[in-house]
Amino acid sequence: MTSASTGLIDRYGRRAVDLRVSLTDRCNLRCSYCMPPEGLPWLPKQEILTDDEVLRLITVAVTRLGVEEVRFTGGEPLLRPGIVGIVAGSAALTPRPKLSVTTNGIGLARLAVPLRDAGLDRVNVSLDTIDPERFAAIALRRRFDDVIDGLSAAAAAGLTPVKLNAVLLRGINDDEAPALLRFALAHGYELRFIEQMPLDAQHGWSRDQMITAAEILAALEAEFDLSPDPAERAGAPAETWLVNGGPAKVGVIGSVTRPFCGDCDRTRLTADGQVRNCLFATGETDLRGLLRGGADDEEIAARWRTAMWGKLPGHGIDDPSFLQPVRPMSAIGG
């Protein structure tokens, strides 16, 4: 088999059907494990894909490359003025992809209904603490109430299941795993913990400081009965457990200590039109230049296939030669 086959396959037999599209590298929070307090040198406007360009690339991915699901992310995707139109354009495609957004939730009180009406199916909202003071200490902004309001708005709009993403940081919120799960259960949200990854702009990550999946599970098991979820994982990054016999679930995304690269089905597009075949890739493939140079859809599709064909078997965090990507998480699209 070669990279000329139809879908986004790689030489290890994986097929990418889940596209993460970053709509901006900017964010209205400054979570310590992601971005420095002063922010970052943002991408120049002329380098960022226009709404039409984003839609063109999503169209190529869905209609020519077998992408089945599109997740909008960033930066903070709700800061992108054109997000409702981009969602509507994506929802109009045949076959219609599943559409979701990963957000800090701050804009959802305003945007949940317009996004649902445009065709959005679901939201993932990041929430690392249920303590407003801790929230301000981690994110350097007093926006806790806005996130909580956003969550309620998403649930009321039917953007369900509403999933919560939490990152635990040693000495800061690592005592909150059970409280976060209680909060999620009380509101009908599905909680997933994400192991902290070496993707911060400040390069402050260290393996011995990160809270591991095993630690998270031990903390939860002190209060809840967890049993393995019988549902098939099917490429999903989170390993899930039934809570107290179910149907409620909790997930752990153990990217560092329990990597799932062998089942990875993701391809990523940055806000400036670069394909990344892995969150941790050190190289990228430029689609913006091709697009702006007048390439047709099949030329773009061919370059995207070639980019994915070269995907490495694993992220290599445990390899002594591991190099953190130059682009931080906020500019890749988490």
Residues that bind ligand SAM (CB under 6 A): 27, 33-34, 73-74, 76, 102-104, 126, 165, 167, 194, 196-197, 199-200, 329-330, 334
By the 8 A CB rule, do 52 and 127 touch? no
Minimum distance from residue 330 beta carbon to ligand SAM (Å): 5
Hey, what are 103's tokens? Answer: 């957000």
Hey, what are 260's tokens? Answer: 């799932």
Hey, what are 195's tokens? Answer: 């192991």
By the 8 A CB rule, do 88 and 99 touch? no
- Cα distance between residue 5 and residue 72, in whole Å: 26
* CB-closest chain residue to ligand SAM: 334
Beta bridge partners of 99: 70
By the 8 A CB rule, do 206 and 226 touch? no
Minimum distance from residue 49 beta carbon to ligand SAM (Å): 17
Crossing angle for the helix pair 297-309 and 51-64, nearest 10 degrees?
70
Please name which of 307, 324, 268 lies closest in space to residue 102, comparing C-alpha atoms: 268
Give the residue with the Cβ less far from ligand SAM, 129 or 196.
196
Minimum distance from residue 102 beta carbon to ligand SAM (Å): 4
Neighbours of 90 (CB within 10 A): 25
Minimum distance from residue 34 beta carbon to ligand SAM (Å): 4
Give the residue with the Cβ less far from ligand SAM, 240 or 330.
330
Secondary structure element (H or E) that encloses residue 65, with its range: none
Minimum distance from residue 262 beta carbon to ligand SAM (Å): 20
Give the residue with the Cβ less far from ligand SAM, 88 or 194.
194
Minimum distance from residue 190 beta carbon to ligand SAM (Å): 14
Give the residue with the Cβ less far from ligand SAM, 100 or 126.
126
Give the residue with the Cβ less far from ligand SAM, 61 or 329.
329
Give the residue with the Cβ less far from ligand SAM, 10 or 146.
146
